[in-house]
Amino acid sequence: MRRAMAEAEVGDDVFGEDPTVLLLQERVADLLGKEAALFVPSGSMANQLAVRVHTQPGDEVICEASCHIVNYESAAAPVLSGVQLLPLQGTRGRLSPEQVTGAIRHGYYWEPQSRLVCLENTANKAGGTVLDHTEVVAVGHVVRAKGLAFHLDGARLWNAAVASGLSERELAAPFDTVSVCLSKGLGAPIGSLIAGPTELIQKAHRWRKVLGGGMRQVGILAAAGLYALENHRQDLPSDHARARRLADGLAAFVAVTIDPVSVETNIVMFDVSGMTALETVDRLKEAGVLVVPFGLQRIRATTHRDLSDADIDLALAAAGRVLA
């Protein structure tokens, strides 16, 4: 990947003259079955561009309560787009068509105007769970019948594709716009894209500049993304297998509560007892294992391409000492 970056052909992307960026945008648009795609610095910017191009100030965005847009983007949607988020309590990151139907406003002038529905696949905080595609299609029918827009936060769409056996293109089909990250499981240092209809991507291009996200000779980063798509995507099943092994190992500890069946991709959510999540995370860090607190007792572990099977054994041994 570093060699591909060093050898990348570059140009000024603010003038649309970076051939490697153009290639990446075409490649991702094609992978997702959308007309166009735009390279952006982060997944948060990709999601926020989607919110910006689909809405007007005063609109309302329906989403699932545990999603990234609600929890991890520093309240960007109200700040940058003047919209209100309506978080619905879903099941494992999922929203049913009935729930979405019930949340759509009726059009009275005293209400916010429902304008956009967002889903996340895989759903991070729910434990890297994969959305039920039939249900997503059904939600899409509701969204379209009501004249709303439909956005997918697909930061981990690659993982959802592996786990579901459906292609990224199939998983993206019900949505108007889709954001994807190259910087998560795919292992590129930086970079995300938003894909959708040309007209909306042109709007997003202007808003990217408004946010200061126009980058100059950024082909070195696009080259990393292209390399990751070509060479790293096929390794994701190993991450999933290692997450499962980690989950099965953790399940054996008395101080751990985990439902191993809930581990569908590369994320392992578990609860600890006897210590808080924060204390446990600190002690695991001392033992050389990095995990993230996700609640008072909840911890998230993630597997990635730089881990081996032996690393999982080491992590389980360390967890055994800390949680004993």
Ligand X SMILES: *Cc1c(COP(=O)(O)O)cnc(C)c1O
Chain positions contacting ligand X, by CB under 6 A: 42-44, 47, 68, 120, 124, 153, 155, 181, 183-184, 192
User: 26-33, long-range: CB within 8 Å, 24+ apart, which pairs?
Assistant: 27/226, 27/229, 28/180, 28/193, 28/195, 28/229, 29/195, 31/168, 31/169, 31/229, 32/154, 32/157, 32/168, 32/169, 32/172, 32/178, 32/180, 32/195, 33/169, 33/172, 33/173
- Cβ proximity to ligand X, 54 vs 256, nearer residue: 54
- Cβ proximity to ligand X, 114 vs 183, nearer residue: 183
- Cβ proximity to ligand X, 154 vs 249, nearer residue: 154
- How far is residue 213's CA from residue 209's CA, in Å, rounded to a whole number? 5
Q: What angle is formed at CA 36 by the lines to CA 34 and CA 38, rounded to 5 degrees?
A: 125
- Cβ proximity to ligand X, 42 vs 276, nearer residue: 42
Chain centroid, CA 143 distance in Å: 21
Q: Give min distance, CB of 173 to ligand X, in A.
A: 19
- Cβ proximity to ligand X, 47 vs 114, nearer residue: 47
Q: Phi, psi (5° rounding) for residue 63? A: -150, 175
Strand partners, 87: 63
Closest CA to 59 of 126, 118, 2, 137: 118
Q: Give min distance, CB of 46 to ligand X, in A.
A: 7
Tell me the two tokens of residue 188. Answer: 């590129």
Q: Give min distance, CB of 223 to ligand X, in A.
A: 18
Closest-approach residue to ligand X (CB): 43
205 Cβ contact list (under 8 Å, min separation 6): 38
Closest CA to 262 of 245, 244, 278: 244
Q: Give min distance, CB of 69 to ligand X, in A.
A: 7
- How far is residue 82's CA from residue 40's CA, in Å, rounded to a whole number? 21
Tell me the two tokens of residue 255. Answer: 């101080």
E strands in 171-297: 177-181, 192-196, 256-257, 267-272, 292-293
Q: Give min distance, CB of 139 to ligand X, in A.
A: 17
Q: Give min distance, CB of 15 to ligand X, in A.
A: 25
- Cβ proximity to ligand X, 44 vs 55, nearer residue: 44
Q: Give min distance, CB of 73 to ligand X, in A.
A: 7
- Cβ proximity to ligand X, 118 vs 201, nearer residue: 118
Q: Give min distance, CB of 272 to ligand X, in A.
A: 22
- Cβ proximity to ligand X, 184 vs 242, nearer residue: 184
